[in-house]
Amino acid sequence: MDSKRALTMLLVVLSTAVAGAVVVQMTEKHKAEALSASAAPAPAAFRRVLDVGHPLGPDNPAWPGDAHPFEAVPNATFEKDGYFTRKFTSLEHFGTHLDAPAHFVKGGWTVDQIPVSRLYGPAVVIDARGESARDVDYRLAPEKITEWESRNGRIPRGSIVVMCTGWSARWNDAKSYRNMDSKGVMHFPGYGVDAVKLLIERGVVGLTIDTLSVDYGASKDFPVHHLSHGAGLFHVENLADVGSLPETSAYLVVAPIDLEGGSGGPARVFALFP
């Protein structure tokens, strides 16, 4: 046996031993995260990346009653300091943002506590543009989920659901996006409770949508928030145009600001394609 081959074998043995030692020291939570991550395709399998969020800025449509949701002011300038920085303030739930379970569940995960493995997973894209065009108060029905499964198979555990309503076309018109009637009630589509119960049974980890809320606009008690956050799911609201996403084969990366103790926070969201 030559020295090069012996060295190679030694490195293999050592790397195996080190890996075994690391696994032994991992907590059960970390084991679960590692297994989840290992089931996902390698980055090299993806050839396209699509940003499916909106840039965060003062003109983003805000929830009614939210005063001064966003502000950015200069902190340093090239003229005065030789470099450029700003100071910004923002509500946690503004623009394209993540809702952590702590948003509606006392003691639930805050943004920084959500296991990172749950922020990456297969995108289950459910096209509800037709129903939303016919009924602005549409709520996703379980039948839409079973129809999706009849074409694509059972929803994989660890998936992130993307409800495509077409509502992002209204984004640049805040009045149209909120769609409030004369009584101040908003009207836009969202998830239905029975559909969310089915998605929880399937083991999804997140619900996302291209409207202001996963609950439909006229909701007063936010049952989808209570139900899904109670099951440990996160949300992403105010996605950009997701109509170009395929029903299957894409993976979603949700990258929220890692805000300690946050009930939510601005997020950048990417779809990865083979």
Q: Is the pLDDT of residue 9 over 70?
A: no
* Cβ contact 72:86 at 8 Å: yes
Would the pLDDT of 95 be above 80?
yes
Instruction: Report the amino acid identity of residue 161.
Output: V
CATH number at residue 72: 3.50.30.50
Residue 172 within a domain: yes
Q: Is the pLDDT of residue 105 over 50?
A: yes
Greater model confidence, 10 or 133: 133
In a domain, 7, yes or no: no
Name the helix (H) or strand (E) containing 164. strand 160-164
Digit-coded pLDDT (tens) for 49-87: 999 999 999 999 999 999 899 999 999 999 999 999 999
Name the pTM for this structure. 0.84
Q: How many domains are contained in the chain?
A: 1
- The verdict on residue 178 lying in a domain is yes
What Cα–Cα distance (Å) separates residue 88 from each residue in 73, 92, 122? 6, 12, 33
Residue 222: alpha-carbon gap to chain centroid: 18
Q: Within a domain: residue 11?
A: no
Query: What distance lies between CA 14 and its chain's CA centroid?
Result: 39
The tens digit of pLDDT for each residue in 142-179 reads 999 999 999 999 999 999 999 999 999 999 999 999 99
Percent of the chain whose pLDDT exceeds 90: 81
Residue 226 predicted with pLDDT over 70: yes
Cα(249)–Cα(46) distance, rounded to whole angstroms? 10
Token pair 């922020």 is found at 119
Closest among 57, 59, 55, 112 to 88, alpha carbons compared: 57
What is the pLDDT, as a whole number, of residue 26?
Answer: 35
Q: Is residue 162 part of a domain?
A: yes
For residue 44, what pLDDT is reported?
A: 63
Question: Does pLDDT of 107 surpass 70?
Answer: yes
> Between these two residues, 115 and 241, which has the higher pLDDT value?
115
Q: 23: part of which helix (H) or strand (E)?
A: helix 3-25
Q: What is the predicted pLDDT for the residue at 145?
A: 98
Q: Is residue 36 part of a domain?
A: no
| pLDDT of 93 higher than 80 | yes
Q: What is the pLDDT of residue 25?
A: 37
Angle, CA 161 vertex, CA 160 and CA 162 arms, to 5°? 120
Determine the pLDDT at residue 271. Answer: 97
Task: Tell me, yes or no, whether 37 lies in a domain.
Answer: no
Would you say residue 231 has pLDDT above 60?
A: yes
pLDDT at res. 100: 98
Beta carbons within 8 Å of 100's beta carbon, 6+ residues apart? 108, 109, 110, 111, 113, 114, 229, 234, 262, 263, 264, 265
Spatial neighbors of 185 by CB under 8 A, at least 6 apart, are: 217, 218
Instruction: Give kind and range of the element (H or E) at residue 71.
Output: strand 70-76
Q: Are strands 251-256 and 120-127 parallel, antiparallel or unpaired?
A: antiparallel
For position 41, what pLDDT does the model report? 63
Average pLDDT, the chain: 89
Could you tell me the pLDDT band of residue 21, with boundaries at 50, 70 and 90?
A: very low
Instruction: Confirm whether 26 is domain-assigned.
Output: no
Structural domain including 228 reads: 48-273
Q: Is the pLDDT of residue 24 over 80?
A: no
